[in-house]
Amino acid sequence: MMRCGPFAFGRWRAQIESMAPIVFHPAYDAPMPPGHRFPMGKFAALAKMIEAEGLAGPQGFHRPDLASAEHLCLAHDPAYVQAVLMAQVEPAVARRIGLPITPEVAARAQAATGGTILTARLALTEAVACNTAGGSHHASHQEGAGFCVFNDVAVAAHLLLAEGRVRQILVVDLDVHQGDGTARIFEHDPRVFTFSMHAAKNFPVRKAVSDLDIELEDGIEDADYLARLDDILPNLIRRVRPDLVFYIAGVDPHRDDRLGRLNLSDQGLAAREAFVLDAALSRGIPVAGVLGGGYDTDVERLAARHIWLHRAAALAHARWR
C-alpha cells in the first residue's frame, strides 16, 4: 500500500513536468450570512493555495460552464431544479439543505456541478483531474439536504452514461458522512456502483443503502482506517471494473473537524489520497476527484487539508498518465 507522507510532494514537485487538470470557478465562493456554519470561504482559500504551490500548472485553472437545467434534471426532479434556479425553494426544503437558496447560492450549485462534469471529462483524457468543489452527496432526486443543493457526481455520472463515454462507474465516497443521496439516486442502476465508508454514528441518522457501506467506529485512527481501505478498495475495483472512478475526498474524517467523529491526521489524509488514486490509476482506470466535506472555522487550515487531494493528483498524473 503506497503511503505518501506530508513532505513527499515537496520532494517531487521539481520533477513534475505537467500537472493534473484542476477545475475552479469564482462562483464557488457564494455570499453567506454572517456567522453561518458552512465554511464557504474554503473554496477561494484552496484556490489561492493551489496557485501559490503551482499545482494548476502554467495553463492555470480549467473554468467550467454552469450546469444547465437539462443536465441537472438527469439526476433531480425538474420542479426542484426550477425552484432552485429561480431561488424560490420552499422554506422547509431550504432548512433541510441548511443554506439560504439565493441566486448566488443557486449559481454556485450550478458551477460546482458543471465543475464536476468538466472534471470527469478531463479525467477520461488525462487519467486524473480534480474539482475544487463538489461532492454534494446528500442531495437526492427530490431535493437537497445537508449543505448539498445538487448532487454533482450523480449529474455528471448520468450525463457521461447518456453520452456513451462510459459504461460502468464506481463512486468511492470517503466523506465522514454517508453518501445517502447518491445511494438513493442509483439504487436501481447497476451501471453506477456506490461505495461509502463513513462514521456509523454520524449524519444522516437514517442511512440509505449503498451498494457497499462500511461503517466505522468513532475515533478510528490512521493505521486502522487505511488498513480497512486497503482490504476493500483494490478488490472492489477488480470486481466492478469501472471505466471511471468518482472519488469524493471529504476531509471531515480529520481529528480536528467540527462535524466528524473519526481521528485521522494530516499524514493519514495524505496517505489516503495517494492510495485511492494509485489503486485506480495503476489499473488504467481514470479518476475524477471532488472535494467533499470539511468543517473548520479557520478556512485556511481547512484548505490545507483539502489540498492533499490536489498534491496527490499531481504526483499520480506524473506517474500514471
The structural domains of the chain, with segments of one domain joined by +, span 8-12+19-30+39-320
Strand partners, 216: 199
Measured distance CA(44)–CA(303) in Å, rounded: 9
Q: What is the pLDDT of residue 5?
A: 41
Measured distance CA(297)–CA(290) in Å, rounded: 21
Full strand arrangement of the beta sheet holding 22-23: 22-23, 128-131, 287-290, 244-248, 169-173, 192-199, 212-216
Measured distance CA(67)–CA(21) in Å, rounded: 19
Q: What is the pLDDT of residue 17?
A: 64
Strand partners, 194: 171
> Taking a C-beta distance cutoff of 8 angstroms, is the pair 309, 291 a contact?
yes
Q: What is the pLDDT of residue 7?
A: 39
Q: What is the pLDDT of residues 44-62, one digit of tens each?
A: 999 999 999 999 988 899 9
Could you write out the DSSP letters of every residue in 207-237?
----SEEEEEPTT--HHHHHHHHHHHHHHHH
Cell of 44: 477561494
Question: pTM of whole model > 0.75?
Answer: yes
Q: What is the pLDDT of residue 3?
A: 40
Half-sphere exposure (CA, 13 Å, Cβ side) for 307? 23
| Residue range 8-12+19-30+39-320, CATH number | 3.40.800.20
> For residues 164-190, b (16+ Cβ closer than 10 Å) or e, as one string?
eebeebbbbbbbbbbbbbbbbbbeeee
> Taking a C-beta distance cutoff of 8 angstroms, is the pair 153, 290 a contact?
yes
Give φ, ψ of 313 to 5 degrees.
-65, -40
Q: What is the pLDDT of residue 257?
A: 97
Going from the first residue of the chain to its last (321 residues), give the mean pLDDT of each consecutive group of 10, the final group possibly shorter: 43 64 98 95 98 93 98 98 98 97 98 98 98 98 98 99 98 98 98 98 96 98 98 98 98 97 97 98 98 97 98 94 80
